[in-house]
Structure 1
């Protein structure tokens, strides 16, 4: 997560929001799936990301995956209306 956040900060010139929440959970899938969803302006957080990981996801899988970086980039535009996504 730290590497993804630092990469996004470099991309935007700073991290795109001041207050964020990221929830990483294990999904019910027994595979190596890594998914993410990001929203804006929820419960006082400018960006909220949810990352369910399959039970078989390893540290090596996470190091090679770009999903966290992708979701954190969305925080820069998380509050756009749906028709603009």
Structure 2
């Protein structure tokens, strides 16, 4: 992801800056998604594993990146409190 884009992106909910998920964090997220118990902020289930993602500095919200494009929609964010160990 382009650093200039990262520098201007922020969470639409908390206004916190966002950072790329580490490989370790991405693995934890995808393991949690595989259980079928993870929901988006709008409570719809997260059905597809992430290939990339962004997390807020305060580690409250995750946003997926699809084909290099960050999906910064509040309803599609993943609240981190559902993911054990993150």
TM-score with structure 2 setting the length: 0.25
Question: Which structure has more RCO (C-alpha within 8 Å, separation ≥ 6)?
Answer: 1
Instruction: Identify, as 1 or 2, the structure richer in strand.
Output: 1
TM (norm. structure 1) is: 0.25
Larger Rg: 1
Instruction: Kindly indicate which of the two structures has a greater share of residues assigned to helix.
Output: 1
